[in-house]
Amino acid sequence: MSCLKILGVTDTGPTEDETPDGLLGWCLVANVARETAHGESGLDIQHGTKHFRTGALLWLPPVRWDPGHGRWPAVGRHRGNGRRYVNMIVRADDLENFRVKGVYSEALVRSLNGYEHDPAAPRTLQNPWTRERAQSWADGRNRHREPLFIEGHPYAHPRISVPNPPPAEIQIDGETLHLARYGTRGAHYSRMLPPVEWTPEP
């Protein structure tokens, strides 16, 4: 049996400061992936996103309007100001570890409600998830995997897949493989190290 190990991945799930005012509702949440793929064929690998750091906890309200294919509205703490919630549109493919969390903070309720927030009912989510529906969405997203191709083999690995976006390095049966290219048909790995970009000496 083949064994897959993703190199350099640790538990990046942050803890969330919650106001002990009682449960106000449930919400689908996810963490910003350690590595996010950008550019042609997804080979521009970055850490986190422009607005959210790696591992940032994002709260995902139910979608009432379509912000574009594969994009969701999200609430989280911005890279530049970790104390306040901000509302952003994010790519679903930049997220991982989908799950359900309870909402306890009135400030979070206000951000999740957005323009629909009612100051007269500051603890009421205007468009709430049910716990069951949020869990169903989380399960569906966590099953989203990419086919794994290894250099020299024309077909995808029959038993192993990788997350989306795929990690830069993986280890299978003790052998380290490096991401060579990534496209709509899956992630292709090579035993060769990727080329190192030349930079001038200072």
- For residue 26, the tally of other CB atoms under 10 A from its CB is 19
Token code pair at residue 159: 């038993």
- Higher-pLDDT residue of 181 and 130 is 130
CB 115 within 8 A of CB 155: no
pLDDT digits (tens, 9 = 90+) for 84-97: 899 999 988 788 88
How does residue 5 score in pLDDT terms, banded at 50, 70 and 90? low
Least confident range from 71-75, 164-168, 177-181: namely 164-168
Q: Which residue has the tokens 């996810």?
A: 30
According to the model, what pLDDT value does residue 16 have?
47
10 φ, ψ to 5°? -125, 175
CB atoms within 10 A of CB 145: 14
pLDDT tens digit sequence for 25-44: 999 999 998 777 666 555 56
The 10s digit of each residue's pLDDT in 110-165 is 999 999 999 999 999 999 999 999 998 888 777 767 788 898 888 877 767 787 77
> Does the pLDDT value for residue 15 go beyond 50?
no
